């Protein structure tokens, strides 16, 4: 009798467990079904075709183009004997550092701008524009990131305007924008009188917060809704610009921007080859040359010693 009395509770317990298992399975099935429905639903179209109140803003250096436009421009000017070998060595070192570190060093960028301003002082704007076209073909055209170029084209195909936003001279940025079929460019403005460069800037370089102010001003004039706009950059210096729009993208991001973007679930794209190299900021793209390789080794050795 004791054994027989033990059976019903066990059966009831088994039944209860079965009910619990069935309910759990049903709930899991409902969740899975919702997930599958979400996966089956097409993603919302972006960029939205025909949305005339939306536009895209692209940083230039290391976002659209490998390296810094100002350094490539300086290389082209040296070829045309605008300055001496000593200045070229300084441009070369700044460019190597930029590509090794993967970030914009304010002191290097300021030095490069001052060098460029002193070099172009007294030259006509029209002369530098003509030379800029040649320099683009010689040093910049092959350094455009295809992935970023495709992103810009997607906005153009949707009928939206696309602008470069860069600390590079506006003349250089305008040439690059036109060659890529973009709408135009926001860049640093060098003062000129009667079509001749004075060697001074109008205001300050278009860098960091100044980019955000330029985008805000252009959006106001163009009648854009910044919440519907997109911005793309590689540098944490451009967080003010990226934070201004509804669709921020981190492209080939430096370590600080990558961390910031992940915390805020921004979209990331990395078109550099060699993830290990990208993680430490060393470009894997070919063409850095022996100087870059030697410098990279020296930097690594210095870090190990420290």
Average pLDDT over residues 212-241: 96
Question: What is the C-alpha separation between 128 and 133, in angstroms, rounded?
Answer: 9
The answer to whether position 20 is within a domain reads: no
pTM of this prediction exceeds 0.75? no
pLDDT at residue 88 greater than cutoff 60: no
- pLDDT tens-digit readout, 23-71: 666 666 665 555 555 444 445 578 889 899 999 999 999 999 998 898 8
Domain that holds residue 119: 55-276
Q: What is the DSSP letter of 160?
A: -
Tell whether 47 is covered by a domain. Answer: no
Q: 94 in a domain, yes or no? A: yes
Residues in Cβ contact with 173 at an 8 Å cutoff, skipping those fewer than 6 apart: 60, 69, 164, 166, 185, 186, 187
Produce one character per residue of 135-163: b if its CB has 16 or more CB atoms within 10 Å, e if not: bbeebbeeebbeebbebbebbbebebbbb
pLDDT of residue 23: 62
127-152 pLDDT, tens digit per residue, is: 999 999 999 999 999 999 999 999 99
Q: What is the pLDDT of residue 45?
A: 75
Distances (CA, A) of 240 to 3, 5, 150: 76, 75, 24
C-alpha neighbours within 13 Å on the C-beta side of residue 302: 6
Residue 7 lies in a domain: no
Structurally, the chain folds into a number of domains equal to: 1
Percent of the chain past pLDDT 90, that is, above it, reads 48
Q: What residues act catalytically?
A: 59, 61
- Integer Cα distance of 131 and 129 in angstroms: 5
Lowest average pLDDT, out of 12-21, 73-82, 100-109, 215-224, goes to: 100-109
Integer angstrom CA distances of residue 272 from 36, 41, 98, 141, 279: 33, 31, 15, 17, 10
β 196-201/190-193 pair status = antiparallel
Is position 297 within any domain? no
Residue 86: CATH number of its domain: 3.40.50.1000
SS3 101: helix
Cis bond leading into 154, ω under 30°?
A: no
* Within-domain flag for 257: yes
Maximum average pLDDT range among 110-119, 189-198, 287-296: 189-198
Task: Answer yes or no: is 301 within a domain.
Answer: no
**Residue 33 maps to a domain:** no
How many other C-beta atoms can be found within 10 angstroms of the C-beta atom of residue 234? 29
């Amino acid at each position: 009798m004791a054994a027989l009395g033990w059976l019903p509770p066990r059966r009831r317990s088994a039944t209860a467990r079965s009910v619990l298992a069935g309910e759990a399975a049903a709930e899991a099935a409902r969740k899975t079904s919702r997930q599958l429905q979400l996966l089956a639903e097409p993603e919302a179209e972006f960029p939205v075709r025909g949305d005339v109140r939306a536009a895209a803003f692209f940083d230039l250096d290391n976002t659209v183009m490998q390296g810094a436009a100002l350094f490539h421009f300086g290389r082209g000017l040296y070829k045309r004997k605008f300055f001496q070998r000593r200045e070229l060595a300084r441009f070369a070192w700044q460019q190597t550092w930029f590509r090794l570190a993967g970030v914009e060093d304010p002191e290097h960028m300021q030095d490069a701008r001052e060098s460029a301003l002193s070099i172009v002082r007294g030259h006509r704007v029209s002369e530098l524009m003509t030379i800029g076209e040649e320099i683009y073909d010689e040093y910049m055209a092959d350094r455009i990131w295809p992935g970023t170029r495709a992103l810009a084209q997607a906005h153009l195909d949707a009928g939206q305007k696309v602008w470069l936003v860069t600390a590079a001279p506006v003349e250089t940025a305008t040439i690059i924008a036109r060659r890529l079929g973009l709408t135009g460019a926001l860049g640093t403005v060098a003062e000129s009188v009667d079509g001749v460069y004075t060697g001074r800037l109008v205001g300050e370089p278009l860098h960091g917060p100044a980019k955000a102010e330029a985008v805000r001003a252009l959006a106001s004039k163009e009648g854009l809704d910044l919440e519907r706009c997109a911005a793309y950059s590689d540098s944490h210096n451009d967080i003010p610009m990226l934070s201004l729009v509804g669709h921020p993208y981190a492209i080939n991001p430096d370590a600080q921007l990558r961390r910031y973007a992940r915390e805020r679930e921004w979209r990331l794209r990395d078109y550099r080859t060699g993830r290990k190299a990208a993680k430490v900021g060393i470009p894997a793209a070919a063409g850095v040359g022996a100087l870059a390789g030697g410098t990279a080794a020296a930097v690594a050795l210095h870090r190990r010693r420290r």
